[in-house]
Structure 1
Amino acid sequence: MSDVPVARPRIVCLCGSLRFSREFASERTRLTLDLAIVLAPEATEAPVLDPVLVRALGELHLRRIDLADEVRIVNPGGYIGEATRREIAYANALGKPVTYFHEPSPS
Protein backbone atom coordinates (compact mmCIF):
# COMPACT_ATOMS: atom_id res chain seq x y z
CA MET A 1 0.00 0.00 0.00
CA SER A 2 1.23 3.47 -0.88
CA ASP A 3 1.89 6.32 1.55
CA VAL A 4 0.71 8.83 -1.06
CA PRO A 5 -2.87 9.90 -0.38
CA VAL A 6 -5.01 10.13 -3.51
CA ALA A 7 -8.59 11.33 -3.36
CA ARG A 8 -11.10 9.50 -5.53
CA PRO A 9 -9.59 9.98 -8.96
CA ARG A 10 -11.70 11.14 -11.85
CA ILE A 11 -12.41 8.54 -14.48
CA VAL A 12 -11.91 9.61 -18.09
CA CYS A 13 -13.07 7.59 -21.07
CA LEU A 14 -11.18 8.17 -24.32
CA CYS A 15 -13.21 8.00 -27.52
CA GLY A 16 -12.21 8.40 -31.14
CA SER A 17 -10.81 6.53 -34.10
CA LEU A 18 -8.21 3.94 -33.15
CA ARG A 19 -6.20 5.01 -36.20
CA PHE A 20 -4.90 7.74 -33.87
CA SER A 21 -3.01 5.30 -31.66
CA ARG A 22 -0.17 7.74 -30.89
CA GLU A 23 -2.59 10.42 -29.76
CA PHE A 24 -4.53 7.88 -27.64
CA ALA A 25 -1.24 6.84 -25.99
CA SER A 26 -0.28 10.47 -25.39
CA GLU A 27 -3.64 11.31 -23.81
CA ARG A 28 -3.57 8.13 -21.71
CA THR A 29 -0.13 9.09 -20.36
CA ARG A 30 -1.05 12.75 -19.77
CA LEU A 31 -4.25 11.87 -17.92
CA THR A 32 -2.57 9.14 -15.87
CA LEU A 33 0.12 11.59 -14.75
CA ASP A 34 -2.76 13.92 -13.83
CA LEU A 35 -3.89 11.05 -11.52
CA ALA A 36 -6.96 10.09 -13.54
CA ILE A 37 -8.16 6.57 -14.24
CA VAL A 38 -8.26 6.18 -18.02
CA LEU A 39 -10.66 3.89 -19.85
CA ALA A 40 -10.18 3.37 -23.59
CA PRO A 41 -10.90 0.87 -26.33
CA GLU A 42 -8.12 -1.53 -27.20
CA ALA A 43 -6.90 -1.90 -30.75
CA THR A 44 -6.95 -5.47 -32.00
CA GLU A 45 -4.26 -6.91 -34.23
CA ALA A 46 -6.72 -8.62 -36.56
CA PRO A 47 -9.58 -6.86 -38.32
CA VAL A 48 -12.92 -7.55 -36.68
CA LEU A 49 -15.21 -8.83 -39.42
CA ASP A 50 -18.05 -10.37 -37.44
CA PRO A 51 -20.84 -7.75 -37.32
CA VAL A 52 -22.19 -9.19 -34.06
CA LEU A 53 -18.78 -8.76 -32.44
CA VAL A 54 -18.45 -5.23 -33.85
CA ARG A 55 -21.81 -4.28 -32.26
CA ALA A 56 -20.83 -5.96 -28.98
CA LEU A 57 -17.54 -4.03 -28.86
CA GLY A 58 -19.45 -0.79 -29.49
CA GLU A 59 -21.80 -1.58 -26.61
CA LEU A 60 -18.83 -2.46 -24.40
CA HIS A 61 -17.40 0.98 -25.07
CA LEU A 62 -20.72 2.59 -24.06
CA ARG A 63 -20.35 0.81 -20.70
CA ARG A 64 -16.96 2.52 -20.33
CA ILE A 65 -18.75 5.83 -20.86
CA ASP A 66 -21.26 4.80 -18.17
CA LEU A 67 -18.37 4.45 -15.69
CA ALA A 68 -16.65 7.70 -16.66
CA ASP A 69 -16.84 11.12 -15.05
CA GLU A 70 -15.65 12.72 -18.30
CA VAL A 71 -15.46 11.70 -21.94
CA ARG A 72 -12.38 12.88 -23.86
CA ILE A 73 -12.56 12.85 -27.65
CA VAL A 74 -9.26 12.08 -29.37
CA ASN A 75 -9.79 13.84 -32.70
CA PRO A 76 -6.58 15.07 -34.35
CA GLY A 77 -7.37 17.59 -37.06
CA GLY A 78 -10.95 17.70 -35.78
CA TYR A 79 -11.86 14.29 -37.26
CA ILE A 80 -14.96 12.73 -35.70
CA GLY A 81 -16.36 9.59 -37.31
CA GLU A 82 -19.82 8.06 -37.11
CA ALA A 83 -19.08 5.79 -34.12
CA THR A 84 -17.53 8.66 -32.18
CA ARG A 85 -20.55 10.88 -32.93
CA ARG A 86 -22.73 8.14 -31.44
CA GLU A 87 -20.53 8.02 -28.33
CA ILE A 88 -20.68 11.81 -27.95
CA ALA A 89 -24.48 11.74 -28.23
CA TYR A 90 -24.61 8.95 -25.63
CA ALA A 91 -22.35 10.88 -23.22
CA ASN A 92 -24.41 14.04 -23.72
CA ALA A 93 -27.63 12.12 -23.02
CA LEU A 94 -26.10 10.97 -19.72
CA GLY A 95 -24.97 14.50 -18.86
CA LYS A 96 -21.28 13.56 -18.97
CA PRO A 97 -18.84 16.38 -19.72
CA VAL A 98 -17.28 15.94 -23.16
CA THR A 99 -13.86 17.47 -23.89
CA TYR A 100 -11.82 17.40 -27.08
CA PHE A 101 -8.19 16.81 -28.05
CA HIS A 102 -8.87 19.40 -30.80
CA GLU A 103 -11.93 21.59 -30.38
CA PRO A 104 -14.36 20.93 -33.23
CA SER A 105 -15.05 23.84 -35.55
CA PRO A 106 -18.47 25.44 -35.11
CA SER A 107 -20.99 24.20 -37.64
Structure 2
Amino acid sequence: MPGRPEIVCLCGSTRFEEQLRAANRDLTFAGVIVVAPGVFARVDASQSDEAITPAQKAALGELHLRKIDLADRVLVVNPAGYIGESTSREIDYARATGKPITFTEPG
Protein backbone atom coordinates (compact mmCIF):
# COMPACT_ATOMS: atom_id res chain seq x y z
CA MET A 1 0.00 0.00 0.00
CA PRO A 2 1.59 3.31 -1.02
CA GLY A 3 1.87 5.81 1.83
CA ARG A 4 -0.25 5.58 4.90
CA PRO A 5 -4.01 5.93 5.12
CA GLU A 6 -5.54 9.21 6.23
CA ILE A 7 -6.04 9.53 9.99
CA VAL A 8 -9.33 11.12 11.10
CA CYS A 9 -10.22 12.06 14.66
CA LEU A 10 -13.92 11.89 15.48
CA CYS A 11 -15.23 14.54 17.85
CA GLY A 12 -18.73 14.91 19.23
CA SER A 13 -20.84 14.46 22.29
CA THR A 14 -20.68 10.95 23.73
CA ARG A 15 -24.48 11.11 23.96
CA PHE A 16 -24.29 10.36 20.21
CA GLU A 17 -22.58 7.01 20.70
CA GLU A 18 -24.54 5.33 17.91
CA GLN A 19 -23.68 8.07 15.38
CA LEU A 20 -20.00 8.12 16.44
CA ARG A 21 -19.79 4.35 16.03
CA ALA A 22 -21.46 4.55 12.61
CA ALA A 23 -19.02 7.24 11.44
CA ASN A 24 -16.12 5.14 12.75
CA ARG A 25 -17.39 2.08 10.88
CA ASP A 26 -17.98 3.97 7.62
CA LEU A 27 -14.58 5.64 7.68
CA THR A 28 -12.84 2.37 8.56
CA PHE A 29 -14.49 0.60 5.62
CA ALA A 30 -13.31 3.51 3.44
CA GLY A 31 -9.72 2.73 4.44
CA VAL A 32 -9.27 5.53 6.98
CA ILE A 33 -7.50 5.15 10.33
CA VAL A 34 -9.96 6.44 12.92
CA VAL A 35 -9.19 7.79 16.38
CA ALA A 36 -12.31 8.35 18.42
CA PRO A 37 -13.72 8.53 21.92
CA GLY A 38 -13.08 5.25 23.71
CA VAL A 39 -15.39 5.84 26.69
CA PHE A 40 -19.06 6.73 26.35
CA ALA A 41 -19.87 7.07 30.05
CA ARG A 42 -21.02 10.47 31.32
CA VAL A 43 -20.39 12.42 34.53
CA ASP A 44 -24.16 12.68 35.00
CA ALA A 45 -25.07 9.06 35.78
CA SER A 46 -28.75 9.76 35.14
CA GLN A 47 -27.84 10.08 31.46
CA SER A 48 -25.90 6.82 31.25
CA ASP A 49 -25.71 3.33 32.70
CA GLU A 50 -22.12 4.07 33.66
CA ALA A 51 -20.72 7.23 35.23
CA ILE A 52 -17.26 8.76 35.32
CA THR A 53 -15.80 11.23 37.77
CA PRO A 54 -15.07 14.86 36.86
CA ALA A 55 -11.34 14.05 37.12
CA GLN A 56 -11.75 11.17 34.66
CA LYS A 57 -13.70 13.44 32.32
CA ALA A 58 -10.88 16.01 32.41
CA ALA A 59 -8.25 13.33 31.74
CA LEU A 60 -10.27 11.93 28.84
CA GLY A 61 -10.64 15.46 27.44
CA GLU A 62 -6.87 15.97 27.48
CA LEU A 63 -6.34 12.54 25.91
CA HIS A 64 -8.74 13.46 23.11
CA LEU A 65 -6.67 16.57 22.32
CA ARG A 66 -3.67 14.27 21.85
CA LYS A 67 -5.79 12.19 19.44
CA ILE A 68 -6.44 15.39 17.47
CA ASP A 69 -2.66 15.91 17.37
CA LEU A 70 -2.29 12.50 15.69
CA ALA A 71 -4.97 13.15 13.07
CA ASP A 72 -4.74 14.58 9.58
CA ARG A 73 -8.23 16.04 9.98
CA VAL A 74 -11.18 16.18 12.37
CA LEU A 75 -14.74 15.06 11.69
CA VAL A 76 -17.30 16.50 14.09
CA VAL A 77 -20.33 14.24 14.54
CA ASN A 78 -23.05 16.77 15.37
CA PRO A 79 -26.61 15.46 14.86
CA ALA A 80 -29.10 18.33 14.48
CA GLY A 81 -26.11 20.70 14.58
CA TYR A 82 -25.49 20.05 18.29
CA ILE A 83 -22.05 21.03 19.60
CA GLY A 84 -21.52 20.91 23.35
CA GLU A 85 -18.87 22.48 25.53
CA SER A 86 -16.27 19.70 25.20
CA THR A 87 -16.71 19.42 21.45
CA SER A 88 -16.46 23.19 21.11
CA ARG A 89 -13.16 23.06 23.00
CA GLU A 90 -11.91 20.31 20.67
CA ILE A 91 -12.91 22.34 17.60
CA ASP A 92 -11.08 25.38 18.95
CA TYR A 93 -8.00 23.24 19.60
CA ALA A 94 -8.11 21.68 16.12
CA ARG A 95 -8.41 25.14 14.54
CA ALA A 96 -5.51 26.46 16.63
CA THR A 97 -3.33 23.57 15.46
CA GLY A 98 -4.34 23.97 11.81
CA LYS A 99 -6.31 20.76 11.43
CA PRO A 100 -8.98 20.73 8.72
CA ILE A 101 -12.44 20.25 10.25
CA THR A 102 -15.62 18.89 8.68
CA PHE A 103 -19.06 18.36 10.21
CA THR A 104 -21.68 15.67 9.67
CA GLU A 105 -24.46 18.30 9.92
CA PRO A 106 -24.52 21.99 9.11
CA GLY A 107 -24.19 24.13 12.24
- TM-score, normalised via structure 2 length: 0.87
Task: Say how many residue pairs are matched.
Answer: 99
Moved over 2 A (4+): none
| Pick aligned residue for 1:18 from 14, 17, 22 | 14
| Pick aligned residue for 2:28 from 10, 23, 32 | 32
Matches within 5 A, 1:78-89: 78-89=81-92
Unaligned runs of 5+ in 2: 42-48
The one-letter amino acid paired with 1:33 is F
The whole-number CA distance in structure 2 between the counterparts of 1:9 and 1:19 is 28
**Secondary structure of 1:77 counterpart:** helix
The Cα shift of 1:6 comes to 5.1
Unaligned runs of 5+ in 1: none
1:60 aligns with 2:60: no
Matches within 5 A, 1:84-95: 84-95=87-98
The one-letter amino acid paired with 2:21 is A
- TM-score, normalised via structure 1 length: 0.87
| Cross-structure match for 2:44 | none
**Secondary structure of 1:12 counterpart:** strand
Question: Higher helix proportion, which one?
Answer: 2
Bigger drift between 35-44 and 56-65 goes to 35-44
Instruction: Indicate the RMSD between aligned Cα atoms, in angstroms.
Output: 1.2
The whole-number CA distance in structure 1 between the counterparts of 2:21 and 2:2 is 23
Percent identical among aligned pairs is 52
Give deviations 1:37-83, integer Å, cap 9, x for gaps: 0000122462112x222211110000000000010000000000010
